[in-house]
Amino acid sequence: MFSNFLIWFVIVPVIMMAGLACCGNSNMKAIRTVMVVCSTVLLGMAIWLVCEFLDMRAAGDTSEMLFTGSWMWYEPLNIHLAVGVDGISVLMLLLSAIIVFAGTFASWKIDPLPKNFFLWFALLSTGVFGFFISIDMFTMFMFYEVALIPMYLLIGVWGTGRKEYSAMKLTLMLMGGSAFLMLGLLGIYWHSVPAGGVPTWNILEIAHNSAIAPSWQNLLFCFTFVGFGVLGAMFPFHTWSPDGHACAPTAVSMLHAGVLMKLGGYGCFRIAIYLLPSAAQELAWIFIILTGISIVYGAFSACVQTDLKYINAYSSVSHCGMVLFAILMLNRTAMTGGILQMLSHGLMTALFFALIGMIYGRTHTRDIRQMGGLMKIMPYLGVCYMIAGFASLGLPGMSGFVAEMTIFFGAFENGDMFHRVFVIAATCAIVITAVYILRVVGKLILGPVQDDHHLTLTDATWWERFSTATLIVCLAGIGFFPNWINETIQHSFTPIINALNMAI
């Protein structure tokens, strides 16, 4: 079991927790050492995994999942601990590792109870990594919930503002989503084989069997898509997102918007659409409407907010809506764009939240009406904020451009009127994105200094520079060299597209 490389993505965070548990309660040096060492190891593992994965693909290995392994867990119900990765999960693992790494540095001076904070943080990352390596629905769901629950304490204890309310709202809404999801998974499990067989939780086997009757598929598709869609901030289930993000501490916002919301998109893609293709063909229109609303509504809402975190949270609703929107177009180009958008949004939002945290830590306000001229006061942070903004509004050269262009190209391949209308509406949302990004940049970064006390503030410290620089390099990396990502994920769509074509 331990010879499988993927399983170490779960074991290392567990070791991280064990290490933290051994540290003294306020021994910051020991805690930081554990966190930095383990998150660096995770990042190194993720990079190595990408290289190895590309090598294996280049060597002609065309199986759907690589690094697979499967171990029996609950025999009476045929539950396995099954792992395996394709190009998409490899990139998601890399994204998670980068953000855990950056998040560690962004919460360098967390207070109070630093040890407990990092313990829950490590538990959250265990869930995230476990989710992306699983190909057994049961373990996948388990890791999904493992990733959700630490949010309650992370926001409730270390958050700001109306943290109790937001933490409870976020937890209950996401858990509500996962209740529907569980029901969907149970249905998939019991119908996963033709009559007489032993039901299975293994995603690959279920897809291979394709035994679920269309009448059940429709019901299960709604359950699973809504279940994951809640985490993907799909309208009208997005309301946890602005409150939750606004109240969460910096690293948690980063991890949550950067990685956790991707769990939603990834799950919709891997379970709802892949395993229930005929329902996807039939019912996609309902969710295209909902995600279309998410995109436009999120963008408009961001325009009128004055709290930096709310602006960014609504922009996340809009961008994550774009991810689900792309996946629902059910063709290869749009789905490629959707995955690119996940990566791009993950890095960009993490950068945004990190910067907002740093600015807030200095000015003690997030209200854009009370700040201005940050470029004069803290030029490094100002420049970073502008870069993140440009990535968000899709400036060529940054990741956002690559992702959104691909999505719209792909979406336009659907020639009927219904799809066209929604694609055009979604395209317009880019303009609105430019409005709210430029409004903030103009006011906050370039405008006149609003408060003379701010003139005495300092620019970023070394760990803050390190954290943000990591993310910017990655953002520009995707923007300039999108091809290697394309190369990594190109095989991953084939089984899904085949399943969809068979279902017509």
Partner 1 sequence: MDYSQFGAMLPELIILGLFFIVFLFDTFSNEGGKKLLTPVTTVLFGLATVAIWLIPSCGDTVFGGMYVDDSACKAMKAILNVGVFIVLLQSAKWVESDEVAIRKGEFYELLLVTLFGMYLMISARHFLLFIIGLESASLPLAAMVAFNKKHYESHEAAVKYILTAVFSSAILLTGLSFVYAFSGGSLYFDDIRAELSSGSTPGLLICALAFMIAGIGFKLSLVPFHLWTADVYQGAPTAITAYLSVISKGAAAFAFFVIFVQAFGTLYSAAWEWMMYAVIIVTITIGNLFAIRQKNMKRFMAFSSISQAGYIMLGVMTESALGLGSMMFYIFVYVVSNLAVFSVISAIENKTGKVGMDDYDGLHKTNPWLSFAMTLAMFSLAGIPPFAGFFSKILIFTSVTASDSMALYMLVLVALINTIISLYYYLLVVKAIWINPGEARIESFRSAFSERLALWLCVGGIVFFGLVSGIYQFCVESAATLV
Q: Under the rule (CB under 8 A), what is the footprint of partner 1?
A: 73-77, 79, 138, 141-143, 145-146, 149, 152-153, 156-157, 163-164, 167-168, 171-172, 175-176, 179-180, 182-183, 186-187, 189-190
Nearer to partner 1, 73 or 466 (CB): 73
DSSP per residue, 92-111: HHHHHHHHHHHHHHHTTT--
Per DSSP, the residues of 287-344 read: HHHHHHHHHHHHHHHHHH--BHHHHHHHHHHHHHHHHHHHHHT-SHHHHHHHHHHHHH
Q: Which two tokens stand for residue 6?
A: 């993927």
Please answer whether residues 326 and 341 qualify as being in contact, where contact means their C-beta atoms are separated by less than 8 angstroms: yes
Closest Cα to residue 234, out of 151, 328, 310? 328
**Which is closer to partner 1, CB of 149 or CB of 497?**
149
**Shortest Cβ distance from residue 250 to partner 1 (Å)?**
19
At its nearest, how many Å lie between partner 1 and the CB of residue 268? 19
User: Minimum CB separation from partner 1 for residue 217, in Å?
Assistant: 14
Q: Which is nearer to partner 1, 85 or 167 (CB)?
A: 167
Contact 177, 237 (CB under 8 A): yes
**Torsion angles phi and psi, residue 360, rounded to 5:** -65, -40
β-strand pairing of 66-74 with 79-85: antiparallel
* Least distance from partner 1 to the Cβ atom of residue 246, Å: 17
Q: Which is nearer to partner 1, 161 or 495 (CB)?
A: 161
Q: Tell me how far, at minimum, the Cβ of 126 lies from partner 1, in Å.
A: 9
Burial class (CB in 10 A: 0-12, 13-18, 19+), 396: exposed
Whole-number minimum distance, CB 333 to partner 1, in Å? Answer: 37
Nearer to partner 1 among residue 214 and residue 442 (C-beta)? 214
Tokens of 311: 């602006």
Min. distance of Cβ 27 from partner 1 in angstroms?
Answer: 15
Nearer to partner 1, 271 or 485 (CB): 271
Count Cβ atoms below 10 Å from residue 94 Cβ, excluding itself: 22
Q: Which is nearer to partner 1, 67 or 144 (CB)?
A: 144
